[in-house]
Amino acid sequence: MHGTCPLIDLPSRLVIVAYSDPVVKRYGYGPDSEYLECWLGIVGPSVTWMWKKLSRLAAEHEPDSVTVDTADLLMSIGLGEGQRRNSPGARTVTRMVSFDLAKRTGRDGSVLAVRRALPRLCEHQVRRLAPSARTYHDALAS
């Protein structure tokens, strides 16, 4: 992981905004890119699905924000409706932040700035992929 981030209870509503990173936005990989499968092996399925859903929302509403019901969001990607710090949903948001796919802002962490695109995996991350995923990565990234 890029950094550690404390687990916190999720608020009942999340405000989603676009994470400003012009370089990654221009050269990165969007939520419909095949390259997302490469990230799947690094961040796992719940982060992959949440990022995909939230990056689309951020893109649709940029430069404005959109407010989502947290329980509905979590249930829509199969994580149940729990929002306590050790729930699958709270761990998923924390993991997104740890991998710099999103940033929490606001006093209570209710604003989530979500990347509109993913950067290319670094060499260390590529080495962690399964052999078949590494081959797939190399084919896409060349």
On whether residue 107 sits in a domain, the answer given is yes
pLDDT for the residue 92 = 96
pLDDT for the residue 20 = 85
On whether residue 4 sits in a domain, the answer given is no
- The DSSP result for 17-29, as a single string, is EEE--HHHHHHSB
Q: How far apart are the first and last CA of the chain?
A: 25
pLDDT for the residue 1 = 45
pLDDT tens by residue, 34-48: 999 999 999 999 999
Q: Are 11 and 99 in contact (CB under 8 A)?
A: no
Q: Domain range holding 109?
A: 13-141
pLDDT tens by residue, 113-123: 999 999 999 99
Could you say which residues of the chain have pLDDT below 70? 1-4
Q: Are 126 and 137 in contact (CB under 8 A)?
A: yes
**Which two three-digit tokens encode residue 133?**
């995923």
Alpha-carbon distance of 74 to 69, in angstroms, equals 9
On whether residue 3 sits in a domain, the answer given is no
On whether residue 1 sits in a domain, the answer given is no
pLDDT for the residue 8 = 85
On whether residue 8 sits in a domain, the answer given is no
pLDDT for the residue 4 = 65
pLDDT for the residue 135 = 93
Q: Sheet of 66-69: strands edge to edge?
A: 66-69, 13-19, 111-115, 102-105
Greatest pairwise CA separation for the chain in angstroms:
43
Question: Which single residue is written with the structure tokens 């390259």?
Answer: 35
Give backbone dihedrals phi and psi of 131, rounded to 5 degrees, phi first: -55, -45
What is the pTM (predicted TM-score) of this model? 0.90
Q: Are 140 and 35 in contact (CB under 8 A)?
A: yes
On whether residue 87 sits in a domain, the answer given is yes
Alpha-carbon distance of 62 to 76, in angstroms, equals 22
Structural domain count, the chain: 1
